Amino acid sequence: MTIDANGMHYTPLNKMIRQAVASGVREIVIDNVLGQRFIANGLRSNVRITINGVPGGDLGMFMSGPECIVRGDSEHAPGNTMDNGTIVIHGSAGDAVAHSMRGGRVFVRGDIGYRGGIHMKEYDQKRPVLAVGGTTHAFLGEYMAGGIIIVLGIGHEVAVKDRGIGSGIHGGEIILRGDIEDRLLGVGARKVIFTEDDLNRLSPLITEFCERIEVDPSQFLDTNYTRIIPASSRPFAGKYTWE
Amino acid sequence: MCGIIGVIDRTKARMDGSSIKKALSLMKERGSGEGAGYVAYGIYPDYPDCYAIHVFFDNLVEPKSKVDEVLQKWGRIVHQEEIPTYEQPCLKREHIPWRYFYRPYTEFIVGSNNPAEDIIKHLVMTVNSTIQGALIFSSGINLGVFKAAGWPEEVADFYRIEDYKGYIWLAHNRYPTNTPGWWGGAHPFNLLDWAVVHNGEITSYGTNRSYVESNGYKCTMSTDTEVVAYLFDLLGRRHGLPSEMIVEALAPQFWDEIDLLPEKEQKLKRTLRLTYGPALMNGPFAIVVATSKGIVGFTDRIKLRPLVVGENGSRLYISSEEAAIRVMDPEVKSIYMPRAGEPVVGRVVQ
C-alpha cells in the first residue's frame, strides 16, 4: 500500500496507517512525508513502513513491533518510549532520539542531536538499542537506566566530542568507537576497557547495525571502543536523601 | 514549546510572506493558538528614512490623540494609516493595528551619538508605560512586525503578509507558559532595528530585567522575551558589540571550557563574562535575532530547545524544525544542527 502524504496533516495520515494495519496490510510506503508527527504511534503489528521524506517528532512513540525505515532525516525523539520493533533512519535525527526507550532498536546512519538515549531503560529480556553511525551532541545517555548505546563516529575524528556523556547514568552501557577524553564524561559515568568478551557479546549487534545502514561491518569488529557504565549501582543514592 | 523560523537573503532579494506562513503553519502543534507573529525587513521602500511605528490601539479616541500629541512634540508624522487587516473567522479583534511613518527632530537633544534612535527609544518607553490603550510594538526603519493572538495561518491571513516583501523574515508560533497570551505578548518583539523571536524561557529574567531597567529600558509587555530585545539593543547598538560577541555575553561558554582556550581568548571571554554577568541568560531558549544587516540564531548552553540551520546559495534559514525549512525551500542544500550556544550568523553582503 502506498500513501502520498504531500501536504497532509498527521491526524488523517495516522488514521490511514491504523486502518490499513487493522485490515491486514503488512507493507506500507509513505511518500512526500514532511514534518508529520507521531507516525506509527502505539502501533502493535509486524507491519513494515517505509517513510520517504522527513517525518516529524516522536516517530514510533510507544510503538510495539513495526519496522519503520526512514529514507531521509528525522526530527526530534524518534523511538520515544518505544516498546518493541525497529526504526532505521538513513539520514540524521534531532534531539532526544530514543528518549525513554524500553525495547527494540533505533538505528541512525547519520548524526543525532543532544540527549540521545536520554533515560533509556531495560527490564528482564527487554534491552533497547540505540546505534548511531555518525556522531552525537552533548548529554548522550543522560539519566540512562538501561539498554545499549553504540556510536561509530563514521566520518568524524572522534566518535563524540561534546560534554556530559552518560550524565546521571545509573544503568545500561554506552559504547563509543575509539578513545574518549575523560573530561567529556558526565557525573556518575565511568570509563572502562572494552574487552574481547564485550566484542563477542556485541559483534552480532554491530554487524546487524552496519548491514542495516549499508556499511561494511568488518572494519568495526575489533576492540577499539570505549565502554561507559555507571560509576556504581546507585550513584545518586545520597543526592536527595541522607542516611 | 514554541516554533520559530527565520530566513535571510544575503543579497537583499526580497521574498513575499507566503512561504514563511507555510513554514510556520507546519509547526502549528508547537503553539496553542494564543499568539503568532511575523517581522519583515525591507517592506517599506517608499519610506526609506522614516521610522515605521506600529501601534496597537484599544480605540482611536483617547489613546490615539495622546500618541499623536507625543509624536508631534518630538518630530513629524510623514504619513499615518490603519494597518490593513482582513477579518478571520476565529481571530478576535482585540486591538486596532495602526502605523505611523515618522521622522524625529534630532536637533532638540544633546549628548547623544544617535539622537534619532534615542528619541524613538524614549517614545516607545514613554507610550508603553504611560498611555493606557496604546502599545508600540514595532519601531524600526523599513521593517514591520505583524502579530496577534491566533494561529500562524490566521494571523498571516489577518495581515495578508503575502502582500509584503522583505529580505529578512522572522516568524513565531507561541505556546504561552508563564505569562498570558495576548496581542502584545506575541512575538516577534522589536525595538528600533532589533527584532527577536524566542522559544523557551528566560529564567534569569529578574536579573536581566533589573540590568536593562538600570540602563533606561522599561519592561511593559509582561513576558520574558522583551528583555532579550533590550539586551541586544543595549549591547549591540549602545555598546557597539558585534553579534557574535553579544551571543558570547548572553550565552557564554562554561568556565571549564574557557580554561582550555588559548590565553588571549581566555582573557577576552573572562572579561566578557565579568563585564556582562547580569546580561547572562539562564534557562531553556532558542532565539533568532534580526537587524537590517543580518540575523543571528543561538540556543542556551546546554541546548534545551531545538535549532536547525539550512543553507541554499544566498539564503540562510534558522528554525525549530527541519521540515519547516524544507517546506519553505524544497531545494535547500545543507541542513545542520549548530552546537549549544554557538551563534549562527547570516549577514547582508553589500
A35 to B306: CB separation less than 8 angstroms, yes or no: no
pLDDT for the residue numbered A243: 56
Query: How near does any CA of chain A get to the CA of B321, in Å?
Result: 7
For A60, other C-beta atoms within 10 Å of its C-beta total 33
For residue A161, the chain B residue with the least C-alpha distance is B339
**What is the DSSP code string of B218-254?**
---SSSTHHHHHHHHIIIIIIS---HHHHHHHHSPPP
Q: Reduced to 3 states, what is the DSSP secondary structure of residue B137?
A: strand
pLDDT at B113 over 90: no
Cα Rg of chain B (Å, integer): 19
Note whether residue A160 is domain-resident: yes
Lookup result for grid cell 513491533: A65
Report how far residue B181's alpha carbon sits from residue A39's, in angstroms, rounded to the nearest whole number: 30
Q: Reduced to 3 states, what is the DSSP secondary structure of residue B324?
A: helix
Lookup result for grid cell 553504540: A150
Residue A44, beta-bridge partner list: A64
Note whether residue A7 is domain-resident: no
pLDDT for the residue numbered A121: 97
B15-16/B165-166 β-pairing: antiparallel
Q: Reduced to 3 states, what is the DSSP secondary structure of residue A216?
A: coil
For A16, other C-beta atoms within 10 Å of its C-beta total 16
Instruction: Identify the domain containing residue B41 by its residue range.
Output: 3-347
Show residues of chain A in contact with B340, CB under 8 Å: 114, 137-138
Interface test with A, best of B322, B326, B333 (most A CBs within 10 A): B322
Residue B350 grid cell: 553589500
pLDDT for the residue numbered A1: 94
Note whether residue A42 is domain-resident: no
Domain of B281, CATH number, reads 3.60.20.10
- Distances in whole angstroms, Cα of residue B133 to Cα of each of A167, B97, B136, B220: 50, 12, 10, 13
Report how far residue B263's alpha carbon sits from residue B20's, in angstroms, rounded to the nearest whole number: 44
A54 to B326: CB separation less than 8 angstroms, yes or no: yes
Here the contacts of A118-121 (C-beta below 8 Å, separation 24 or greater) are: A118/A142, A118/A143, A118/A144, A119/A143, A119/A144, A119/A145, A120/A144, A120/A145, A120/A146, A120/A147, A120/A149, A120/A172, A121/A145, A121/A146, A121/A147, A121/A171, A121/A172
**What is the DSSP code string of B139-164?**
--BTEEEEEESS-HHHHHHHHTGGG-
Interface test with B, best of A9, A37, A95 (most B CBs within 10 A): A95
Q: Identify the H or E element spanning B171.
A: strand B168-173
Residue B116 grid cell: 534619532
pLDDT for the residue numbered B27: 95
Report how far residue A216's alpha carbon sits from residue A41's, in angstroms, rounded to the nearest whole number: 32
Of A73, A137, A183, the CB nearest to B303: A137
Q: Identify the H or E element spanning B191.
A: strand B189-191
- Average pLDDT per 10 consecutive residues for chain A, totaling 243 residues: 96 97 97 97 96 97 97 98 98 97 98 97 96 98 97 96 95 96 94 97 98 96 97 76 64
Beta strands in chain A (DSSP E): 2-4, 27-34, 48-54, 64-71, 84-89, 105-108, 129-132, 145-151, 171-177, 189-193, 225-230
B2 is a catalytic site residue: yes
Q: How many CB pairs under 8 A join A and B?
A: 54
Give phi and psi for B210, each to the nearest 5: -60, -40
Residue A193, beta-bridge partner list: A226
A241 exposed, middle or buried (CB, 10 Å; 0-12, 13-18, 19+)? Answer: exposed
Show residues of chain B in contact with A111, CB under 8 Å: 337
For residue B254, the chain A residue with the least C-alpha distance is A163
The interface predicted TM-score (ipTM) is 0.94
Interface test with B, best of A13, A33, A54, A115 (most B CBs within 10 A): A54
Q: Identify the H or E element spanning B336.
A: strand B334-336
In terms of pLDDT, which residue wins out, B177 or A71?
A: A71
Domain of A202, CATH number, reads 2.160.20.60
Write the CB contacts of B346 (distance below 8 Å, at least 6 apart in sequence): B8, B10, B294, B295, B296, B316, B318
Residue B316 grid cell: 540562510
pLDDT for the residue numbered A242: 66
- Which amino acid belongs to residue B254? F
Residue A28, beta-bridge partner list: A49
Q: Identify the H or E element spanning B24.
A: helix B18-26
Chain centroid, CA B235 distance in Å: 15
Number of domains in chain A: 1
Mean residue pLDDT of chain B comes to: 95
Report how far residue B55's alpha carbon sits from residue B32's, in angstroms, rounded to the nearest whole number: 24
Note whether residue A155 is domain-resident: yes
Instruction: Identify the domain containing residue A148 by its residue range.
Output: 92-230
Handedness of CA B165, B169, B174, B178 (dihedral sign): negative
Helix axis angle for B225-232 and B243-250, nearest 10°, is 130
Number of domains in chain B: 1
Percent of chain B with pLDDT over 90: 91
- Cα atoms found within 13 Å of the Cα of residue B261, Cβ hemisphere only: 14
Q: Please tell me if residue B337 touches chain A, with a CB cutoff of 8 Å.
A: yes
Note whether residue A49 is domain-resident: no
A173 exposed, middle or buried (CB, 10 Å; 0-12, 13-18, 19+)? Answer: buried
pLDDT digits (tens, 9 = 90+) for B209-234: 999 999 999 888 778 888 999 999 99
B303 to A95: CB separation less than 8 angstroms, yes or no: yes
Which one of B2, B50, B90, B219 is the catalytic residue? B2
- Which amino acid belongs to residue A201? R
- Distances in whole angstroms, Cα of residue B242 to Cα of each of A242, B12, B238, B246, B252: 49, 20, 11, 6, 15
Note whether residue A178 is domain-resident: yes
pLDDT at B33 over 80: yes
Question: Which strands sit side by side in the sheet containing B308-312, from one edge to the other?
Answer: B143-148, B36-41, B168-173, B3-9, B315-319, B308-312, B334-336
Q: Please tell me if residue B340 touches chain A, with a CB cutoff of 8 Å.
A: yes
Residue B1: pLDDT band (50, 70, 90) is confident
Show residues of chain B in contact with A37, CB under 8 Å: 29
